[in-house]
Each structure stands twice: as structure tokens, then as C-alpha cells.
Amino acid sequence: MKKIVLGFMLLISAVISTQGAEQHQLLNEDIPDQYEVEKGDTLWDISAIFLRDPWMWPEIWHANQQIVNPHLIIPGDLISLVYIDGKPRLQVNRSREYKLSPQIRTVDHQQAIAALPLDTIDNFLSKSRVTSSAELNAAPYVLGGYERRLLMGMGDDFYARGDFTDNQLNYGIYRRGDPYIEPSTGEVLGLRAEDVGSAKVKAVKDSIATLGATRSVGEIRFKDRLLSHEQRSLVSSFYPRAPKDKVAGVVLNVEGGLRNAGALDVVALNRGNRDGLQAGDTLAIYKEGEMIKDRIADERIRLPDERIGLLMVFSTYEKMSFGLVMQADRQLDIGDLVRNP
């Protein structure tokens, strides 16, 4: 009996030791005991300081329940490496000055650092949106300006026709762009609507409205569509992680009209909510292996896929999503593969 108990204890000890070793393998070799968060840092930056694989953040993060909103990190916070039950953990300690300030009772999401560089993403979000042909066809459309003008800009008044019965005053002006197509089936995953400007309703009679252009990034033209402003501000408190489900997709498009992408470029993917993707999911990018001729075996074979980078998903739709390239070891191309890291 003693031998059985001893053997069981040794087994448990070995399991715990193995788990501890696995946890240590998550860490980089040379890491600081503490890191003070600076303005402009992102959660990905901080993860990369401590972890070999930044998407493993959930595996090693420990929420410090002694501070307000321990899941949010703000400039001035200290990220510390601690050991809990023998396992390495990262936790945040808030500065004394911040905790004792009588004016500050909570930490809101606007104060917290973002998972990604939001200026890059906000610039992308302001230029386009994903819609459908049905939504775009049903939206009011630009008729033209005064004296039958077909081109308008900021400060100009123009006419539009459509359903204005919702009494909405402010609209975004969009132009039909290219569809996002699933390469394997031809399914339309979404339709790109290009941002042209913004307008405010001045008067409505029957189905025709008079609007004033309050913003324009180009010429406002006949047939441009008016869409309600959508709330597209990012929730900055998501964190890098591996997808819960198995994901295998391709790069559909490099935003900005480019054929190739590098670090901090935005790419469109053919996987979305229906495939289990969420903001924060990290995917590895692969270059498909080339087909070559094996002259000895006298047959054609495909070489292994080559891992060339990482991206983090930041915006998802039902059938597709957008990700920011966080690491690129070489040039990325449309058609490159994405899958779980």
C-alpha cells in the first residue's frame, strides 16, 4: 500500500513539475522582473516582452484583485512577473499616486492601453465599411447638386432620393466598391463601401431630401449612397489569444489597393463570426508550399507550407474579418494561408 501511495505522489509531482516547465517555456529568456507601461504601448508589445508567443497571454495572466479593473492596463502600471503555486504569472500593479487619487474611482476603457495600434486601425475604419448589395441598393442615393451639378464637395448642398422617414439627420456618403469573394466557392462574403464623406439633412419633401456636405474626402457624385453612421469604435480591451476553434482561411485582400503586405498592414480574411473568429484571435500566416518535380521519383510533389508571419483579428463580420499584420518575416501576398498559430 505504501508503495502505491508513494508511486501516486511521485506521479503527481511529475505532472506538476511538467506543467511548471511548460509554463516556463512560455517566457522569453531575458525578461524584466517588472515593466512600467508607457503611453503608446499596446498589449501585443507588452506580451512580446515577456512571452515567446504573444497570443499565449491568457495562459499566464493573473488578475490582481487588489486594484480596480485589474483586466485593464494603463500607462504607469507595473507589469510584474510573480509565482503563484510555483507557476509564473504576470499581473498588474497600479501606482500609488493613481490608487490614492480621490478623483479617480474607476479605470475606463479609454484610459486603458489597446491590444493593437489604434491609430492604424482607426485610419482604416474611417475609409470603408463592409455592407451588402441589398443594404446598399435600399439606401438613399445622390441625385445631384444645384443647377444640375453632378460633382459636389464639402460645403455644397445636394439632393438625394430615398426613404427618409426615420427622421435621421446625419449620414455617411459611400460609393460601391468591389465585393469580397470566397475563392473556393464564389460566394460573396461582403461588399466594400468606400467612404466619400458625410452630410446633414436640411429639408425633406416626400422622398427627396436636401443635404449639406459636412465632410468630403473626394468628389460626391450622382448615385453615391447614404448610409447611417455605424458605431465602429473598437473595444480596446480585448487581448491576443489563439482561436477557440480550428481556423483555416486565406488572405482575400490587402487594404489600400496593394497586392502585397507587411507589418502593420490591414488584410481581409475569408473567415468570420460563423467560423468562430473573434477580435483578439491571433492567426499564423503561411506561404503555400511550391509544387516541384522530384526527378528521382519522377513525380510532382508539394513542398511544406512556410510560416511567414502573424496577424491579429480586430474586426469581424458574419462571413469575413479584418486583421492587422503584427509580424512579417517576408512579403505577404493575396492568397496566402492563415490558420491557428
Domain regions of the chain by residue span? 26-113, 123-228, 248-339
Residue-wise pLDDT for 209-220, tens only, equals: 999 999 999 899
Q: pLDDT at position 59, please?
A: 80
Q: pLDDT at position 55, please?
A: 82
272 half-sphere exposure, CB direction, 13 A CA radius: 18
Q: What percent of the chain has pLDDT over 90?
A: 50
Q: pLDDT at position 95, please?
A: 63
pLDDT at 115 over 90: no
Residue-wise pLDDT for 252-305, tens only, equals: 999 877 788 898 899 999 999 999 999 889 999 999 999 999 999 999 999 999
Q: pLDDT at position 123, please?
A: 76
Q: pLDDT at position 158, please?
A: 96
How many whole angstroms from its chain centre is CA 10? 45
Single pTM value for the model: 0.78
Q: What is the SS3 assignment for 231? A: coil
Which among 91, 69, 67 has a CA at the least distance from the CA of 78?
91
> 3-class secondary structure for 254-293?
ECCCECEECCCCEEEECCCHHHCCCCCEEEEEEECCCEEE
Residue-wise pLDDT for 72-112, tens only, equals: 788 888 888 888 888 888 888 876 544 434 444 444 555 67
Q: pLDDT at position 109, please?
A: 53
Which among 281, 269, 245 has a CA at the least distance from the CA of 318?
269
Give the model's confidence band at 116: pLDDT under 50 very low, under 70 low, under 90 confident, else very high. Answer: confident
Q: pLDDT at position 19, please?
A: 45
CATH number of 248-339: 2.40.10.410
Q: pLDDT at position 313, please?
A: 93
The answer to which of 94-108, 214-228, 240-254, 302-316 has the lowest mean pLDDT is 94-108
Which among 108, 97, 113, 110 has a CA at the least distance from the CA of 69?
108
Q: pLDDT at position 11, please?
A: 37
pLDDT at 246 over 90: yes
pLDDT at 235 over 50: yes
